[in-house]
Amino acid sequence: MSSLISLTCLKCRQELPKTTRLLRCPQCQGLLDPQYDLERVRSVLTWETVARRPRSIWRWRELLPIEDERCVISLGEGGTPLVPSVRVGPAFGLRHLYILNDGMNPTGSLKDRSMAVVASKAVELGYRVITCDSSGNKAASLSAYAARAGLTSLMFCPSTTPPQKLLQIVAYGGRLVIIDTDRDGVARLYAELMQRRSAEWYDSGVSNPFRYEGKKTYAYEIAEALGACAPDWILHPAAGSMSVVKTWKGFGELERLGLVHTKPRLGAVQPENCAPIVAAYRKGARTVSPVEYLPTMAGGLSMPNPGDLGDLTLQAIRESDGAAVAVTEDEIVWGMRALWEEGIFSEPTGAVTIPALRGLMEQGIIQRGDTVVCIVTGTGFKDLHSLEQEVCVPRPVPAKLSALDEATQALLA
Ligand SMILES: Cc1ncc(COP(=O)(O)O)c(C=O)c1O
């Protein structure tokens, strides 16, 4: 099963045993990063072996941190379609644009890749209660996986969370606390609460070292779909953006395993209204400072103070010769519409990579011959209110043929 051997602090490099229950480094509070015996993995994992396994993140089980197979909690997460673009790519003159539709995950967002792992880890470690703070998608996902595992889940969300996400959390049976503040306020209160309750509850919030490992599967799946090759670019919506960090780690592992020979450039995309990683990137800084922020329709990306997650993202961007890009609210709407025209129903947060791609092409950073993957991270069903402002559903017509004739003529005129 897993080839997990230890955890390493990403700040001071201290090594901890794989059985540790600590979420952060006891010396410096750095994030912990699971390490694997890649020599062992090399002897069992080939593209042929992987292709014979069912499509889900667990296809890559040697590179995920769950050691006891019986503890795996799965709803079939991952293995989402990499769809060739038929509108946006050709409109930009880009020959090889793919959209990874991660809204096709079991609860409709990217979070299933990581929450499946953390729920499995909670079972393996024997916890009964699992918790997180969230802008909505993470909590909905955790609620589903906790239900599946028979765990109690406890979630903390801001009052700005879209109602569809709140309904989803409660429907799966999660215990939900809606706090009358914004996403940043929830993060601060949750961190304080967890300092007092961390022994009893399994915290699957921003510090959990195991959950992010699920995001490495972006690298594995994209490389597999592109015939054992990395694309030139991968663009991802970014809040704390461990997705970018772990995609980079995943490609590093594939390279060390001899499964790919190149790595992609990575783009982290944030809304202009809340773009701390972009601000640090533009200044050439190595650390991310908190920013003043405004509300954004990309609510999943409303994280003005990503802390050391942001620093790690900057590092992954630098190492991959990538970019951090900010997009305006109007551009997000445009990106969402462009995806709808491709037949991909995205929520605003999921759509930010499309205008970012346009910007990077206009600047000549992405070239027409490049192979690009835009990750679309959440389905439109997650945030119908934002969508209602953008589309106009026609009123009913009388139930008679003449009315149908009139309506269809008007529609097709
Ligand atoms: C749809 C969606 N995309 C992207 C993100 C951000 O992902 P990350 O935390 O890896 O930056 C979120 C976070 O809530 C989200 O809901």
Per-residue pLDDT tens over the stretch 151-193:
999 999 999 999 999 999 999 999 999 999 999 999 999 999 9
Q: Is the CB of residue 242 below 6 angstroms from any atom belonging to ligand 1?
A: yes
CA dist list (Å): 176 to 163, 179, 207: 13, 10, 20
Ligand 1 centre to CA of 237 (Å) is 6
pLDDT band at 199 (very low <50, low <70, confident <90, very high): confident
Q: Does the beta carbon of 205 sit less than 6 angstroms from any atom of ligand 1?
A: no
Q: In testing the pocket of ligand 1, which one of 296, 327, 349, 381 has its CB within 8 Å of the most ligand atoms?
A: 349
Alpha carbon distance 407, 243 (integer Å): 46
Confidence of residue 196 (pLDDT cuts 50, 70, 90): confident
Q: How far is CA 177 from CA 118, 180, 244, 287, 385, in A?
A: 20, 10, 29, 32, 21
Put the strands of the sheet holding 32-36 in their side by side order. 15-17, 4-9, 32-36
Q: How far apart are CA 243 and CA 95, in angstroms?
A: 25
Give the pairing type, strands 82-84 and 96-101.
antiparallel
Query: How many angstroms does the Cα of residue 41 sit away from the middle of ligand 1?
Result: 29
The pLDDT assigned to 389 comes to 86
Task: State the Cα–Cα distance between residues 159 and 168, nearest whole angstrom.
Answer: 15
Tell me the average pLDDT across 134-140. 97
Q: Please say if the pLDDT value at position 251 is more than 90.
A: yes
pTM, to two decimals: 0.97
pLDDT band at 267; cut points 50, 70, 90: very high
pLDDT of residue 33: 98
Tell me which of 137, 266, 277, 305 to substitute to probe ligand 1's pocket, judged by most ligand atoms within 8 Å of the beta carbon.
137
C-beta of 100 in contact with ligand 1 (< 6 A) = no
Distance 90 CA to ligand 1 centre (A): 27
pLDDT of residue 197: 81
The average confidence (pLDDT) of the chain is 97
Cα gap 16→159, rounded to integer Å? 38
Q: Are 239 and 305 in contact (CB under 8 A)?
A: no
Residue 115: how many CB atoms within 10 A of its CB? 34
Per-residue pLDDT for 198 more than 80?
no
Token match 């390490």: residue?
A: 35
